[in-house]
A and B are shown apart, each in its own frame.
Chain A
Amino acid sequence: MDNQPRLTLHIPEPPARPGDHPDFGGMKLPKAGETMRPDVDAAEPTMRDMPFGMIRVLDDGHRAVGPWDPHLDVDVLHRGLRAMMLTRAFDDRLFRAHRQGKTSFYMKSTGEEAIAVAQSLMLGARDMCFPTYRVVGWLMARNYPLLDLVNQIFSNAGDPLRGRQLPILYSARDYGFYSISGNLGSRFGHAVGWAMASAYKGDDRIALAYVGEGTTAEGGFHEAITFASVYRAPVILCVTNNQWAISSFSGIAGANETTFAAKALAYGIPGLRVDGNDFLAVWAATQWAAQRARLNLGATLIELFTYRAAGHSTADDPAKYRPADEARQWPLGDPIDRLRDHLIALGEWDEERHAALQSALDEEVRAAVRAGEAIGTLGKSKPDLASMFEDVFKDPDWRVLEQRREMGV
């Protein structure tokens, strides 16, 4: 053997496992207001350090500071807060409904509510979001009927998708919300194609797409960015880095080597890294990327740094693979608390009104769930069976017609 060390195989491990103290010591967090804001029409080579900074607006005193402060109307802040609180109330209630056997499956977006809500409110009604299963806040922000969501989750006779999709894999075209697929990363490219089509038609609509940080490893992610970059598609490509992909920590997707925003560098598009628990920062970064897209300056990759405070889904117990109190130690806090505290600091909100809104929203969710239960929970009520055979093609072919007859519907 040569006089060299033996080769060793490296398998990354998270800093803390169950029983350990949560450890976020290695995280470099720029202060609020510290990261520069390039002009929207600045050339990409002038902003190659952006992926290593972090856009933050809310400071420790709950004030909006720095060049990224979007100076939002108080009314918008209230709408954002309400939609985030509604999202959480809905998640909590429907998660329980799963535990009570009323549905087969549920996934929460606890801790990540600022992302979908801010982006939904920021973008236009005619833009299109290519969502993941963790952005129901998008629909909450646009006042999608809660009962329709509940019915979809219960796969009951009122299910707007007629029992065809796993709970929470919604589709809501009129709300700018594309159909969710179970195959991770597979629709990132659809957003790029949709945005290219809008550009081709001389339209003014742009697209926004999400993947989780774990999904950045999928080929579809890289293909989509390649196309977005080559054709300067008017699309905002978002990575919600919530630190965990089921039980695998973000290092398994490459986070120990670089940032997810830095994936943009190789494609020559701007890569922004954003405090995903800061409603104002998410808004400002999205606005910046949207302006670039609308000016024909192409795509932006945004890493939204956040933390998945709850389990991956109803099917896992996060305490089995990470410290139970890790969420509480997460240095970027809770997005709802932070926006609440900001509004309080502005003198536009107080604990009493907050508690009153909370109970009003809880009641709103309870009423929707009750109405959904009255139609029926999973297995107790179903969409029309004959509808199972519809929409395979625009017009059914003989196989579908014959098999429907064979089934007697």
Chain B
Amino acid sequence: MPVMNMVQALNNALDEKLGADPDVLIFGEDVGYFGGVFRVTDGLQAKHGLTRCFDTPIAEGGIIATAIGMGAYGLRPVVEIQFADYILPAFDQLVSEAARLRYRSNGEFWAPLTVRTPYGGGIFGGQTHSQSPEAIFTHVVGLKTVVPSNPYDAKGLLIAAIEDDDPVIILEPKRIYNGPFDGHHDRPLKTWAGHPMAEVPEGLYRVPLGKAAVVREGRDVTVLAYGTMVHVALAGIEEAGVDAELLDLRSLVPLDIDAIVASVRKTGRCVVLHEASRFGGFGGELLALVQERCFDHLKAPIDRVAGWDTPYPHAFEWDYFPGPARLMAALRRVMEY
């Protein structure tokens, strides 16, 4: 089976879908001839032609609006927003238009678009190239939000997203495009080579939206994470020496509530880990859900580790980025409660 990094897996998913479905189109800033600044669309225009994969003006609102119109016509557009940080000019289109078109037209029109966007920190991108905006999407009724943590899932989730009839946003953790990153920035970089999740089958396969993955089974505490933080969580759990169960949520909306509840009822403890800033973050929703549904099973208060409530600071990137040490401290807190 071929071994791919996340960029290649995403590229492969797009390539397969372009080949299989003439209604799939790909566009965005620099995605055509050049193949995208992160190379995710590399070679697609050359292989599939100008009208299948093309460059757009620098107008994020225009990109999403155009995709909505195409979706309403019956195509399945896949658009790239170059950095998640630049999705804000398109926010009205996502919130007021894409998310609500099916509802407000009583099912007469809908917007089956897929928005791909690299997100997250750890690359010294400063505050306008590092943010994790998932919570501003998950709060919007009518949008689906997914976050892969490895090449296998990235391909399967992207294919499932393209085939989905609702608008889906795929947040691609750019920090792990080329290799898993566990938060130890002072150690040599790893690559995806040799990683079991980097074995990516040829052809079309789907990782269903709304299904979490149990990355590691355990008895004492449940850790909920997604994206880059799955790898940070693995490192933190190991260093804390606890028997933790790690769930990779993969999809935030729809959320695999059953998997979360089953795990927390089993372990009786829960720690949530995400990179986005804490206040109003998606972790708050996870805490509330666990509290609502697992209170009688809890042996300790639910804890959370997240980015600080400051803009992403360029010089203090490693102080901001939630690394394994902060997770370890939280795991100790809930175990010693």
Contact = CB atoms under 8 A, between A and B. Distances in A.
B247 interface: no
Contact of A161 (B61, B74, B106): B106
Contact of A193 (B67, B101, B102, B141): B67
Q: Ordered nearest first, which 8 A-B pairs have the shortest CB separation? A: A193-B69, A189-B65, A223-B62, A193-B66, A197-B73, A190-B69, A179-B105, A194-B69
Contact of B62 (A161, A178, A200, A224): A224
Interface in A161-211: 161-162, 164-165, 169, 171-173, 178-179, 181-183, 186-198, 200-201, 207
Interface in B99-139: 101-110
Contacts of B72: 178, 190, 193-194
A2 interface: no
A285 to B, nearest CB: 23
B83 to A, nearest CB: 18
Contacts of A179: 101, 104-105, 108-109
Interface in B58-78: 59, 61-62, 64-75, 77
B165 A394 contact: yes
B66 A227 contact: yes
A186 B65 contact: yes
A393 B106 contact: no
A337 to B, nearest CB: 36
Interface of A: 128, 130, 160-162, 164-165, 169, 171-173, 178-179, 181-183, 186-198, 200-201, 207, 219-220, 223-224, 226-227, 230, 390-394, 397-398
B150 interface: no
B197 interface: no
Contact of B96 (A161, A183, A197): A183
A392 B106 CA distance: 10
A226 B104 contact: no
A183 B57 contact: no
Nearest to B106: A161
A52 to B, nearest CB: 27
Contacts of B57: 223, 226-227, 230
A187 B96 CA distance: 10
B210 interface: yes
B257 A393 contact: no
With a 10 A CB-CB cut-off, give which of B66, B70, B74 has the most chain A CB atoms.
B66
B166 A186 contact: no
Contacts of B107: 390-391
8 contacts: A169-B104, A179-B105, A181-B96, A181-B104, A189-B66, A220-B65, A227-B59, A394-B166
B72 to A, nearest CB: 6
B198 to A, nearest CB: 30
B246 to A, nearest CB: 22
A193 B89 CA distance: 17
Contacts of A186: 65, 92-93, 96-97
Contacts of B110: 394
B66 A391 contact: no
Contacts, number: 145
With a 10 A CB-CB cut-off, give which of B25, B64, B68, B72 has the most chain A CB atoms.
B72
Given A188-B65, A191-B69, 9 more contacts: A161-B104, A164-B103, A187-B97, A190-B68, A194-B72, A198-B73, A223-B62, A226-B57, A227-B56
Contacts of B75: 197, 200-201
B219 to A, nearest CB: 26
Contacts of A172: 108
With a 10 A CB-CB cut-off, give which of B57, B105, B254 has the most chain A CB atoms.
B105
A95 B150 CA distance: 58
B61 A219 contact: yes
Interface in B191-211: 210
Contacts of B74: 197, 201
Contacts of B73: 128, 193-194, 197-198, 201
A161 B57 CA distance: 35
Given A181-B96, A223-B61, A171 B68 contact: no
Interface residues of B, number: 46
A183 B97 CA distance: 9
Nearest to A191: B69
B144 to A, nearest CB: 7
B114 to A, nearest CB: 14
B103 A391 contact: yes
A193 B62 CA distance: 9
A391 B69 contact: no
A189 B71 CA distance: 12
Contacts of B66: 189-190, 192-193, 196, 227
A121 B164 CA distance: 36
A194 B25 CA distance: 13
A193 B59 contact: no
Interface string B159-179: 000001110000000000000
Given A164-B103, A227-B57, A190 B108 contact: no
B253 interface: yes
Nearest to B141: A392
Contacts of B67: 193
Contact of B25 (A161, A183, A188, A200): A200
B106 A189 contact: no
B78 to A, nearest CB: 13
Contacts of A178: 72, 105, 109
Contact of B106 (A162, A191, A397): A162
B142 A392 contact: yes
B108 A193 contact: no
A181 B97 contact: yes
A196 B70 contact: yes
A312 to B, nearest CB: 21
A189 B67 CA distance: 9
B69 A171 contact: no
Contacts of B109: 171, 173, 178-179
With a 10 A CB-CB cut-off, give which of A169, A188, A194, A195 has the most chain B CB atoms.
A194
A79 to B, nearest CB: 26
A130 B105 CA distance: 13
Given A178-B109, A397-B253, A187 B65 contact: yes
Given A183-B92, A183-B97, A230-B57, A192 B104 contact: no
B88 to A, nearest CB: 12
Contacts of A219: 61, 89
B291 to A, nearest CB: 16
Contacts of B210: 397
Contacts of B164: 394
Contact of A398 (B64, B69, B142, B257): B257
Contacts of A230: 56-57
Contacts of B61: 189, 219-220, 223
